[in-house]
Structure 1
Amino acid sequence: MTETVTTAEQPRQVPESGRVALVTGASRGIGYGIAEALVARGDRVCITGRDEERLKEAVERLGSDRVIGVAGKAHDEAHQALAVERVMEEFGRVDFLVNNAGTNPVFGPLAELDLAVARKVYETNVISALGFAQQTWRAWQRENGGAIVNIASVAGISASPFIGAYGMSKAAMVNLTLQLAHEFAPVVRVNAIAPAVVKTKFAQALYEGREAEAAAAYPLGRLGVPEDIGGAAAFLTSDQSDWITGQTLVIDGGIFLNAGVG
Protein backbone atom coordinates (compact mmCIF):
# COMPACT_ATOMS: atom_id res chain seq x y z
CA MET A 1 0.00 0.00 0.00
CA THR A 2 1.36 3.44 -0.94
CA GLU A 3 1.63 6.23 1.62
CA THR A 4 -0.73 9.14 1.03
CA VAL A 5 -0.77 12.75 2.11
CA THR A 6 -2.26 13.17 5.55
CA THR A 7 -5.05 15.56 6.50
CA ALA A 8 -7.32 15.76 9.54
CA GLU A 9 -9.89 13.74 7.60
CA GLN A 10 -7.45 11.29 6.00
CA PRO A 11 -4.81 9.75 8.28
CA ARG A 12 -1.62 8.43 6.70
CA GLN A 13 -2.11 4.97 5.19
CA VAL A 14 0.86 2.60 5.32
CA PRO A 15 1.24 -1.17 5.40
CA GLU A 16 0.64 -2.56 8.88
CA SER A 17 4.12 -4.08 8.77
CA GLY A 18 5.59 -0.57 8.62
CA ARG A 19 3.91 0.74 11.73
CA VAL A 20 5.29 1.49 15.18
CA ALA A 21 3.82 0.88 18.64
CA LEU A 22 4.65 2.04 22.14
CA VAL A 23 3.55 -0.42 24.83
CA THR A 24 3.91 0.64 28.46
CA GLY A 25 4.58 -1.76 31.31
CA ALA A 26 5.64 -4.47 28.88
CA SER A 27 8.66 -6.23 30.36
CA ARG A 28 6.40 -9.13 31.37
CA GLY A 29 2.78 -10.22 31.75
CA ILE A 30 0.00 -8.71 29.67
CA GLY A 31 2.19 -5.92 28.30
CA TYR A 32 4.77 -8.42 27.06
CA GLY A 33 2.03 -10.53 25.48
CA ILE A 34 0.77 -7.47 23.61
CA ALA A 35 4.25 -6.48 22.45
CA GLU A 36 4.83 -10.05 21.28
CA ALA A 37 1.65 -10.00 19.19
CA LEU A 38 2.55 -6.69 17.57
CA VAL A 39 6.11 -7.78 16.78
CA ALA A 40 4.77 -11.03 15.30
CA ARG A 41 2.68 -9.13 12.75
CA GLY A 42 5.68 -6.99 11.75
CA ASP A 43 5.37 -3.84 13.86
CA ARG A 44 8.39 -2.16 15.37
CA VAL A 45 7.82 -1.71 19.07
CA CYS A 46 9.09 0.30 22.04
CA ILE A 47 8.38 -1.22 25.45
CA THR A 48 8.69 0.47 28.83
CA GLY A 49 9.08 -0.82 32.37
CA ARG A 50 10.58 0.11 35.74
CA ASP A 51 13.23 -2.60 35.95
CA GLU A 52 16.01 -1.89 33.45
CA GLU A 53 17.51 -5.39 33.49
CA ARG A 54 14.15 -7.11 33.05
CA LEU A 55 13.38 -4.67 30.23
CA LYS A 56 16.63 -5.53 28.45
CA GLU A 57 15.84 -9.23 28.71
CA ALA A 58 12.38 -8.64 27.26
CA VAL A 59 13.83 -6.67 24.35
CA GLU A 60 16.20 -9.54 23.58
CA ARG A 61 13.42 -12.13 23.69
CA LEU A 62 11.18 -10.05 21.45
CA GLY A 63 13.91 -9.38 18.91
CA SER A 64 16.22 -6.44 19.47
CA ASP A 65 16.38 -5.61 15.75
CA ARG A 66 12.73 -4.45 15.87
CA VAL A 67 12.31 -3.58 19.53
CA ILE A 68 13.72 -0.96 21.90
CA GLY A 69 13.15 -0.45 25.61
CA VAL A 70 12.98 2.70 27.72
CA ALA A 71 13.18 2.20 31.48
CA GLY A 72 11.33 4.45 33.91
CA LYS A 73 8.26 4.93 36.07
CA ALA A 74 5.04 5.30 34.12
CA HIS A 75 3.76 8.23 36.22
CA ASP A 76 6.97 10.25 35.66
CA GLU A 77 6.27 12.93 33.05
CA ALA A 78 9.95 13.08 32.09
CA HIS A 79 9.88 9.32 31.40
CA GLN A 80 6.76 9.68 29.27
CA ALA A 81 8.41 12.41 27.20
CA LEU A 82 11.67 10.46 26.89
CA ALA A 83 9.92 7.27 25.75
CA VAL A 84 8.08 9.06 22.95
CA GLU A 85 11.22 10.98 22.02
CA ARG A 86 13.20 7.74 21.74
CA VAL A 87 10.51 6.15 19.57
CA MET A 88 10.55 9.11 17.21
CA GLU A 89 14.36 9.14 17.06
CA GLU A 90 14.63 5.40 16.46
CA PHE A 91 11.61 4.69 14.27
CA GLY A 92 10.38 8.10 13.08
CA ARG A 93 6.72 7.55 13.96
CA VAL A 94 4.42 6.25 16.71
CA ASP A 95 1.20 4.91 15.24
CA PHE A 96 -0.05 2.98 18.25
CA LEU A 97 -0.01 3.50 21.99
CA VAL A 98 -0.99 0.71 24.38
CA ASN A 99 -1.38 1.97 27.94
CA ASN A 100 -0.78 -1.16 29.99
CA ALA A 101 1.37 0.07 32.90
CA GLY A 102 -0.46 -0.28 36.20
CA THR A 103 -0.15 -1.00 39.88
CA ASN A 104 -2.23 -2.50 42.66
CA PRO A 105 -0.20 -2.36 45.88
CA VAL A 106 -3.09 -2.85 48.29
CA PHE A 107 -5.62 -5.61 49.03
CA GLY A 108 -8.46 -4.87 51.41
CA PRO A 109 -11.70 -2.93 51.98
CA LEU A 110 -12.02 0.70 50.90
CA ALA A 111 -13.03 1.66 54.44
CA GLU A 112 -9.45 0.98 55.52
CA LEU A 113 -7.66 2.25 52.42
CA ASP A 114 -4.72 4.58 52.94
CA LEU A 115 -5.57 7.62 50.82
CA ALA A 116 -1.93 8.13 49.90
CA VAL A 117 -1.97 4.66 48.36
CA ALA A 118 -5.20 5.48 46.52
CA ARG A 119 -3.52 8.54 45.01
CA LYS A 120 -0.54 6.43 43.91
CA VAL A 121 -2.80 3.89 42.23
CA TYR A 122 -4.72 6.61 40.39
CA GLU A 123 -1.53 8.41 39.37
CA THR A 124 0.04 5.28 37.91
CA ASN A 125 -3.03 3.67 36.39
CA VAL A 126 -4.85 6.71 35.00
CA ILE A 127 -2.82 9.92 34.91
CA SER A 128 0.14 8.14 33.32
CA ALA A 129 -2.13 6.87 30.54
CA LEU A 130 -3.33 10.39 29.86
CA GLY A 131 0.25 11.65 29.88
CA PHE A 132 1.41 9.09 27.33
CA ALA A 133 -1.65 9.82 25.17
CA GLN A 134 -0.82 13.53 25.20
CA GLN A 135 2.78 12.82 24.24
CA THR A 136 1.97 10.51 21.31
CA TRP A 137 -0.78 12.86 20.12
CA ARG A 138 1.60 15.81 19.96
CA ALA A 139 4.54 13.88 18.53
CA TRP A 140 2.79 12.05 15.69
CA GLN A 141 -0.84 11.05 15.93
CA ARG A 142 -2.48 14.49 15.71
CA GLU A 143 -1.13 14.93 12.17
CA ASN A 144 -0.81 11.34 11.06
CA GLY A 145 -3.50 9.30 12.82
CA GLY A 146 -3.23 6.03 14.70
CA ALA A 147 -4.85 4.15 17.55
CA ILE A 148 -4.69 3.98 21.33
CA VAL A 149 -5.61 0.94 23.43
CA ASN A 150 -6.06 1.35 27.19
CA ILE A 151 -5.86 -1.75 29.36
CA ALA A 152 -8.73 -1.48 31.84
CA SER A 153 -10.19 -4.40 33.83
CA VAL A 154 -13.49 -6.09 34.62
CA ALA A 155 -12.85 -4.61 38.09
CA GLY A 156 -13.61 -1.25 36.50
CA ILE A 157 -17.09 -2.25 35.36
CA SER A 158 -18.26 -4.32 38.31
CA ALA A 159 -17.68 -4.44 42.06
CA SER A 160 -14.55 -6.39 42.97
CA PRO A 161 -14.14 -6.97 46.71
CA PHE A 162 -10.75 -6.13 48.22
CA ILE A 163 -9.33 -4.51 45.08
CA GLY A 164 -11.57 -1.46 45.17
CA ALA A 165 -8.80 1.09 44.65
CA TYR A 166 -7.66 -0.75 41.55
CA GLY A 167 -11.25 -1.04 40.32
CA MET A 168 -11.85 2.69 40.81
CA SER A 169 -8.79 3.48 38.71
CA LYS A 170 -9.85 1.11 35.96
CA ALA A 171 -13.34 2.63 35.88
CA ALA A 172 -11.62 5.95 35.32
CA MET A 173 -9.61 4.32 32.52
CA VAL A 174 -12.84 3.31 30.80
CA ASN A 175 -14.10 6.88 30.96
CA LEU A 176 -10.72 8.23 29.83
CA THR A 177 -11.12 6.02 26.78
CA LEU A 178 -14.50 7.59 26.00
CA GLN A 179 -13.20 11.13 26.44
CA LEU A 180 -10.11 10.60 24.30
CA ALA A 181 -12.10 8.77 21.61
CA HIS A 182 -14.36 11.80 21.34
CA GLU A 183 -11.57 14.39 21.39
CA PHE A 184 -9.11 12.59 19.13
CA ALA A 185 -11.63 11.64 16.43
CA PRO A 186 -11.54 11.34 13.48
CA VAL A 187 -7.79 10.79 13.17
CA VAL A 188 -7.12 8.57 16.22
CA ARG A 189 -9.24 5.69 17.44
CA VAL A 190 -9.24 5.01 21.18
CA ASN A 191 -10.53 1.77 22.71
CA ALA A 192 -10.05 -0.21 25.91
CA ILE A 193 -9.70 -3.86 26.86
CA ALA A 194 -11.14 -5.08 30.16
CA PRO A 195 -9.68 -8.47 31.08
CA ALA A 196 -10.77 -10.72 33.90
CA VAL A 197 -8.05 -12.65 35.77
CA VAL A 198 -5.05 -13.29 33.54
CA LYS A 199 -2.26 -15.58 34.69
CA THR A 200 0.53 -13.10 35.43
CA LYS A 201 2.70 -12.24 38.40
CA PHE A 202 0.61 -9.07 38.80
CA ALA A 203 -2.61 -11.08 39.39
CA GLN A 204 -1.00 -14.02 41.18
CA ALA A 205 -2.62 -13.25 44.52
CA LEU A 206 -6.03 -13.84 42.96
CA TYR A 207 -5.39 -17.46 42.00
CA GLU A 208 -2.14 -18.71 43.56
CA GLY A 209 -2.62 -22.07 45.25
CA ARG A 210 -6.21 -22.33 44.01
CA GLU A 211 -5.99 -22.03 40.23
CA ALA A 212 -8.32 -24.96 39.51
CA GLU A 213 -10.93 -23.51 41.85
CA ALA A 214 -10.58 -20.04 40.35
CA ALA A 215 -10.78 -21.37 36.80
CA ALA A 216 -13.91 -23.39 37.59
CA ALA A 217 -15.85 -20.13 37.97
CA TYR A 218 -15.28 -19.33 34.29
CA PRO A 219 -17.65 -20.87 31.74
CA LEU A 220 -14.69 -21.39 29.38
CA GLY A 221 -12.96 -23.37 32.11
CA ARG A 222 -9.67 -21.51 32.42
CA LEU A 223 -8.04 -18.27 33.45
CA GLY A 224 -6.78 -15.87 30.83
CA VAL A 225 -3.23 -15.80 29.49
CA PRO A 226 -1.33 -12.79 28.11
CA GLU A 227 -1.75 -14.05 24.55
CA ASP A 228 -5.53 -13.62 24.87
CA ILE A 229 -5.05 -9.90 25.45
CA GLY A 230 -2.26 -9.60 22.89
CA GLY A 231 -4.53 -10.83 20.13
CA ALA A 232 -7.24 -8.35 21.07
CA ALA A 233 -4.79 -5.44 21.17
CA ALA A 234 -3.45 -6.45 17.76
CA PHE A 235 -7.00 -6.39 16.39
CA LEU A 236 -7.81 -2.99 17.89
CA THR A 237 -4.68 -1.52 16.31
CA SER A 238 -5.31 -3.08 12.90
CA ASP A 239 -7.15 -1.91 9.80
CA GLN A 240 -9.85 -4.49 10.56
CA SER A 241 -11.03 -2.29 13.45
CA ASP A 242 -11.05 1.00 11.54
CA TRP A 243 -14.70 1.70 12.41
CA ILE A 244 -14.39 0.97 16.13
CA THR A 245 -13.69 3.68 18.69
CA GLY A 246 -14.77 4.51 22.23
CA GLN A 247 -15.44 0.86 23.05
CA THR A 248 -14.37 -1.34 25.96
CA LEU A 249 -13.85 -4.94 24.90
CA VAL A 250 -14.47 -7.32 27.80
CA ILE A 251 -12.30 -10.44 27.69
CA ASP A 252 -13.43 -12.51 30.64
CA GLY A 253 -13.72 -16.19 29.72
CA GLY A 254 -17.47 -15.77 30.14
CA ILE A 255 -17.35 -14.92 33.86
CA PHE A 256 -20.01 -12.22 33.50
CA LEU A 257 -22.42 -14.88 32.27
CA ASN A 258 -22.59 -16.01 35.89
CA ALA A 259 -23.73 -12.62 37.18
CA GLY A 260 -26.82 -12.98 39.29
CA VAL A 261 -26.63 -16.77 39.41
CA GLY A 262 -26.86 -18.50 42.78
Structure 2
Amino acid sequence: MTAMKLALVTGANRGIGFEVCRQLLKKGFQVILTARTLEKAQQAVQQLGSEKVTPVGLEVTSSESVEQLRQWLEATYGGLDVLINNAGIYPDEGQSILRVPVDTFREAMNVNAFAALELSQALFPLLENRRGQVINVSSEMGAWEDLHPSTSAYRLSKLALNGITLMLSRAGRGRVAVNSVCPGWVRTDMGGQDAPGTVEEGAEGIVWLAEQVRGTGQFYQHRQILPW
Protein backbone atom coordinates (compact mmCIF):
# COMPACT_ATOMS: atom_id res chain seq x y z
CA MET A 1 0.00 0.00 0.00
CA THR A 2 1.80 3.13 -1.25
CA ALA A 3 -0.45 5.70 0.43
CA MET A 4 -2.34 5.26 3.67
CA LYS A 5 -5.99 4.68 2.88
CA LEU A 6 -8.71 6.20 5.03
CA ALA A 7 -11.61 4.00 6.17
CA LEU A 8 -14.66 4.97 8.23
CA VAL A 9 -16.48 2.25 10.16
CA THR A 10 -19.87 2.78 11.81
CA GLY A 11 -21.00 0.95 14.94
CA ALA A 12 -17.37 0.15 15.64
CA ASN A 13 -17.02 0.29 19.41
CA ARG A 14 -17.61 -3.47 19.80
CA GLY A 15 -18.23 -6.70 17.94
CA ILE A 16 -17.51 -7.02 14.24
CA GLY A 17 -17.05 -3.28 13.75
CA PHE A 18 -14.34 -3.11 16.40
CA GLU A 19 -12.56 -6.14 14.97
CA VAL A 20 -12.75 -4.66 11.47
CA CYS A 21 -10.99 -1.55 12.79
CA ARG A 22 -8.32 -3.67 14.46
CA GLN A 23 -7.63 -5.61 11.27
CA LEU A 24 -7.67 -2.49 9.09
CA LEU A 25 -5.04 -0.91 11.32
CA LYS A 26 -2.86 -4.00 10.90
CA LYS A 27 -3.24 -3.62 7.13
CA GLY A 28 -1.94 -0.06 7.29
CA PHE A 29 -5.19 1.88 7.06
CA GLN A 30 -5.97 5.11 8.80
CA VAL A 31 -9.29 4.50 10.55
CA ILE A 32 -12.18 6.63 11.74
CA LEU A 33 -14.02 4.64 14.41
CA THR A 34 -17.57 5.80 15.04
CA ALA A 35 -19.99 4.92 17.82
CA ARG A 36 -23.26 6.41 18.99
CA THR A 37 -21.42 8.59 21.50
CA LEU A 38 -17.94 10.07 21.44
CA GLU A 39 -17.26 8.52 24.85
CA LYS A 40 -17.91 5.00 23.53
CA ALA A 41 -15.75 5.68 20.50
CA GLN A 42 -12.92 6.99 22.69
CA GLN A 43 -13.05 3.93 24.93
CA ALA A 44 -12.77 1.66 21.89
CA VAL A 45 -9.87 3.66 20.50
CA GLN A 46 -8.03 3.33 23.81
CA GLN A 47 -8.37 -0.44 23.56
CA LEU A 48 -6.88 -0.43 20.07
CA GLY A 49 -3.88 1.58 21.20
CA SER A 50 -3.00 3.05 17.81
CA GLU A 51 -2.33 6.62 16.72
CA LYS A 52 -3.82 5.85 13.31
CA VAL A 53 -7.42 5.63 14.59
CA THR A 54 -9.67 8.59 15.36
CA PRO A 55 -12.83 8.36 17.52
CA VAL A 56 -16.01 10.09 16.35
CA GLY A 57 -19.49 10.17 17.83
CA LEU A 58 -22.11 9.42 15.17
CA GLU A 59 -25.82 8.76 15.60
CA VAL A 60 -26.48 7.10 12.26
CA THR A 61 -30.23 7.83 12.32
CA SER A 62 -29.69 11.57 12.87
CA SER A 63 -29.43 13.71 9.74
CA GLU A 64 -27.78 16.45 11.80
CA SER A 65 -25.13 14.05 13.10
CA VAL A 66 -24.46 12.75 9.59
CA GLU A 67 -24.07 16.27 8.21
CA GLN A 68 -21.69 17.25 11.01
CA LEU A 69 -19.57 14.21 10.18
CA ARG A 70 -19.57 15.06 6.47
CA GLN A 71 -18.43 18.61 7.11
CA TRP A 72 -15.66 17.46 9.45
CA LEU A 73 -14.45 14.80 7.02
CA GLU A 74 -14.37 17.23 4.12
CA ALA A 75 -12.51 19.88 6.10
CA THR A 76 -10.05 17.44 7.69
CA TYR A 77 -9.33 14.91 4.94
CA GLY A 78 -10.99 16.11 1.72
CA GLY A 79 -11.87 12.57 0.74
CA LEU A 80 -12.56 9.02 1.90
CA ASP A 81 -11.38 5.68 0.54
CA VAL A 82 -13.72 3.23 2.27
CA LEU A 83 -17.07 3.62 4.04
CA ILE A 84 -18.12 0.53 5.99
CA ASN A 85 -21.77 0.70 7.02
CA ASN A 86 -21.66 -1.74 9.92
CA ALA A 87 -24.05 -0.22 12.49
CA GLY A 88 -27.16 -2.33 12.93
CA ILE A 89 -29.72 -3.84 15.26
CA TYR A 90 -31.30 -7.30 15.61
CA PRO A 91 -34.65 -6.46 17.19
CA ASP A 92 -36.86 -9.50 16.66
CA GLU A 93 -34.92 -12.74 16.95
CA GLY A 94 -37.12 -15.74 16.19
CA GLN A 95 -40.36 -13.77 16.13
CA SER A 96 -42.98 -14.46 13.45
CA ILE A 97 -43.95 -11.79 10.96
CA LEU A 98 -47.51 -12.27 12.22
CA ARG A 99 -46.54 -11.00 15.68
CA VAL A 100 -43.78 -8.43 15.17
CA PRO A 101 -45.14 -4.89 15.68
CA VAL A 102 -44.89 -2.66 12.64
CA ASP A 103 -42.94 -0.16 14.74
CA THR A 104 -40.22 -2.80 15.09
CA PHE A 105 -40.05 -3.05 11.30
CA ARG A 106 -39.72 0.73 11.09
CA GLU A 107 -36.92 0.75 13.63
CA ALA A 108 -35.02 -2.02 11.85
CA MET A 109 -35.41 -0.32 8.48
CA ASN A 110 -34.29 3.04 9.86
CA VAL A 111 -31.13 1.71 11.49
CA ASN A 112 -30.14 -1.14 9.18
CA ALA A 113 -31.10 0.29 5.79
CA PHE A 114 -32.05 3.96 5.66
CA ALA A 115 -29.18 5.10 7.90
CA ALA A 116 -26.69 3.37 5.60
CA LEU A 117 -28.34 5.03 2.62
CA GLU A 118 -28.26 8.52 4.13
CA LEU A 119 -24.63 8.23 5.19
CA SER A 120 -23.65 6.89 1.77
CA GLN A 121 -25.47 9.75 0.06
CA ALA A 122 -23.72 12.29 2.27
CA LEU A 123 -20.23 10.86 1.80
CA PHE A 124 -20.48 9.85 -1.87
CA PRO A 125 -18.71 13.01 -3.14
CA LEU A 126 -15.82 12.38 -0.74
CA LEU A 127 -15.60 8.78 -1.93
CA GLU A 128 -15.68 9.94 -5.56
CA ASN A 129 -12.66 12.14 -4.85
CA ARG A 130 -10.62 8.99 -4.22
CA ARG A 131 -12.48 6.47 -6.37
CA GLY A 132 -13.42 4.78 -3.14
CA GLN A 133 -15.96 2.19 -2.12
CA VAL A 134 -18.93 1.55 0.13
CA ILE A 135 -19.18 -1.77 1.97
CA ASN A 136 -22.58 -2.53 3.46
CA VAL A 137 -22.49 -5.17 6.18
CA SER A 138 -25.55 -7.25 5.39
CA SER A 139 -26.71 -10.81 6.04
CA GLU A 140 -27.63 -13.88 4.05
CA MET A 141 -30.86 -13.74 6.07
CA GLY A 142 -31.83 -10.91 3.71
CA ALA A 143 -31.31 -12.98 0.56
CA TRP A 144 -34.45 -13.70 -1.47
CA GLU A 145 -34.17 -17.45 -0.99
CA ASP A 146 -33.87 -17.03 2.80
CA LEU A 147 -36.89 -14.83 3.47
CA HIS A 148 -38.45 -17.03 6.12
CA PRO A 149 -41.24 -15.53 8.27
CA SER A 150 -39.19 -15.58 11.49
CA THR A 151 -36.89 -12.71 12.53
CA SER A 152 -38.78 -10.88 9.83
CA ALA A 153 -37.97 -7.24 10.65
CA TYR A 154 -34.25 -7.95 10.56
CA ARG A 155 -34.53 -9.98 7.35
CA LEU A 156 -36.55 -7.30 5.60
CA SER A 157 -34.11 -4.57 6.62
CA LYS A 158 -31.19 -6.54 5.20
CA LEU A 159 -33.13 -7.23 2.00
CA ALA A 160 -33.63 -3.47 1.72
CA LEU A 161 -29.93 -2.86 2.40
CA ASN A 162 -29.02 -5.23 -0.41
CA GLY A 163 -31.36 -3.32 -2.72
CA ILE A 164 -29.67 -0.08 -1.69
CA THR A 165 -26.31 -1.68 -2.49
CA LEU A 166 -27.41 -2.56 -6.02
CA MET A 167 -28.91 0.84 -6.75
CA LEU A 168 -25.93 2.77 -5.35
CA SER A 169 -23.54 0.56 -7.31
CA ARG A 170 -25.33 1.47 -10.53
CA ALA A 171 -25.47 5.16 -9.61
CA GLY A 172 -21.75 5.22 -8.84
CA ARG A 173 -20.45 2.91 -11.55
CA GLY A 174 -16.98 3.91 -12.65
CA ARG A 175 -16.57 6.27 -9.70
CA VAL A 176 -17.51 4.50 -6.45
CA ALA A 177 -17.80 0.74 -5.94
CA VAL A 178 -20.61 -0.48 -3.68
CA ASN A 179 -20.94 -4.04 -2.37
CA SER A 180 -22.71 -5.96 0.38
CA VAL A 181 -20.95 -8.48 2.57
CA CYS A 182 -22.27 -11.08 5.00
CA PRO A 183 -19.86 -11.77 7.87
CA GLY A 184 -21.67 -14.99 8.74
CA TRP A 185 -23.05 -16.03 12.11
CA VAL A 186 -20.32 -15.12 14.57
CA ARG A 187 -19.94 -14.90 18.32
CA THR A 188 -20.79 -11.30 19.23
CA ASP A 189 -23.36 -9.63 21.50
CA MET A 190 -25.74 -9.73 18.54
CA GLY A 191 -24.86 -13.20 17.29
CA GLY A 192 -24.72 -14.87 20.70
CA GLN A 193 -22.23 -17.36 22.07
CA ASP A 194 -23.69 -20.35 20.21
CA ALA A 195 -22.59 -18.99 16.83
CA PRO A 196 -20.10 -21.22 14.98
CA GLY A 197 -17.83 -18.44 13.72
CA THR A 198 -15.40 -16.12 15.47
CA VAL A 199 -15.55 -12.35 15.26
CA GLU A 200 -12.13 -12.43 13.60
CA GLU A 201 -13.49 -14.64 10.83
CA GLY A 202 -16.49 -12.38 10.37
CA ALA A 203 -14.36 -9.27 10.06
CA GLU A 204 -11.81 -10.83 7.72
CA GLY A 205 -14.13 -10.88 4.71
CA ILE A 206 -15.01 -7.22 5.20
CA VAL A 207 -11.35 -6.21 5.45
CA TRP A 208 -10.54 -8.28 2.36
CA LEU A 209 -13.07 -6.21 0.43
CA ALA A 210 -11.72 -2.97 1.87
CA GLU A 211 -8.15 -3.67 0.79
CA GLN A 212 -8.95 -3.09 -2.87
CA VAL A 213 -11.95 -2.56 -5.13
CA ARG A 214 -13.18 -5.97 -6.27
CA GLY A 215 -15.91 -5.01 -8.71
CA THR A 216 -19.23 -3.49 -7.73
CA GLY A 217 -22.83 -4.49 -7.14
CA GLN A 218 -22.02 -7.85 -5.54
CA PHE A 219 -22.98 -9.72 -2.37
CA TYR A 220 -20.03 -11.47 -0.70
CA GLN A 221 -19.46 -13.95 2.09
CA HIS A 222 -16.06 -15.48 2.91
CA ARG A 223 -14.63 -14.00 -0.31
CA GLN A 224 -17.28 -15.75 -2.42
CA ILE A 225 -20.18 -14.17 -4.29
CA LEU A 226 -23.63 -14.99 -2.91
CA PRO A 227 -26.92 -14.87 -4.83
CA TRP A 228 -29.14 -11.94 -3.93
TM-score by length of 2: 0.88
Please, which runs of 5 or more residues in structure 1 have no aligned partner? 1-14, 216-222, 257-262
3-state SS of 2:182 partner: strand
* Pairwise CA distance, 1:161: 5.3
How many residues are treated as equivalent by the alignment?
221
Residue 78 (structure 1) aligns with: 64
List per-residue Cα deviations over 1:198-217 (Å, max 9, x = no partner): 1100122xxx4xx3xxx6xx
Letter of the 2:221 counterpart = V
3-state SS of 2:55 partner: strand
Letter of the 2:141 counterpart = A
Residue 114 (structure 1) aligns with: 101
Classify 1:103/1:26 alpha carbon distance in 2 versus 1 (closer, same or farther; 3 Å). Answer: same
Residue 113 (structure 2) aligns with: 126
Do the aligned partners of 2:91 and 2:153 also contact (CA within 8 Å) in 1?
no
Do the aligned partners of 1:17 and 1:43 also contact (CA within 8 Å) in 2?
no
Letter of the 1:229 counterpart = G
Residue 95 (structure 1) aligns with: 81
3-state SS of 2:60 partner: coil
* Pairwise CA distance, 1:92: 3.8
Given the alignment of the two structures, is residue 203 of structure 1 paired with residue 191 of structure 2, yes or no?
yes
Q: 1:141 aligns with which of 127, 130, 142?
A: 127
Letter of the 1:194 counterpart = C
Taking the TM superposition and a 5 Å limit, the aligned residue runs for 1:202-241 are 202-204=190-192, 208=193, 211=194, 223-239=196-212
List per-residue Cα deviations over 1:143-202 (Å, max 9, x = no partner): 331011000001101135531110111011111111111110101111111233111001
Q: 2:221 aligns with which of 247, 250, 256?
A: 250
Residue 156 (structure 1) aligns with: 142
3-state SS of 1:105 partner: coil
How far apart, CA to CA, are the structure 1 residues paired with 2:148 and 2:131? 36
Q: 1:185 aligns with which of 173, 178, 182?
A: 173
Do the aligned partners of 1:17 and 1:41 also contact (CA within 8 Å) in 2?
no
CA RMSD of aligned residues (A): 2.1
Classify 1:16/1:35 alpha carbon distance in 2 versus 1 (closer, same or farther; 3 Å). Answer: farther
Do the aligned partners of 2:79 and 2:129 also contact (CA within 8 Å) in 1?
no
Given the alignment of the two structures, is residue 194 of structure 1 paired with residue 194 of structure 2, yes or no?
no
How far apart, CA to CA, are the structure 2 residues paired with 1:167 and 1:141? 28
Do the aligned partners of 2:82 and 2:134 also contact (CA within 8 Å) in 1?
yes
Do the aligned partners of 1:32 and 1:226 also contact (CA within 8 Å) in 2?
no
3-state SS of 1:172 partner: helix
Letter of the 2:70 counterpart = V
List per-residue Cα deviations over 1:15-40 (Å, max 9, x = no partner): 46411011011101111111111111
Task: Pick which of 153-162 and 176-185 moved more.
Answer: 153-162
Task: Pick which of 119-128 and 47-56 moved more.
Answer: 47-56
TM-score by length of 1: 0.77
How far apart, CA to CA, are the structure 2 residues paired with 1:78 and 1:116? 23
Please, which runs of 5 or more residues in structure 2 have no aligned partner? none
How many percent identity over aligned positions?
28
Do the aligned partners of 1:20 and 1:94 also contact (CA within 8 Å) in 2?
yes
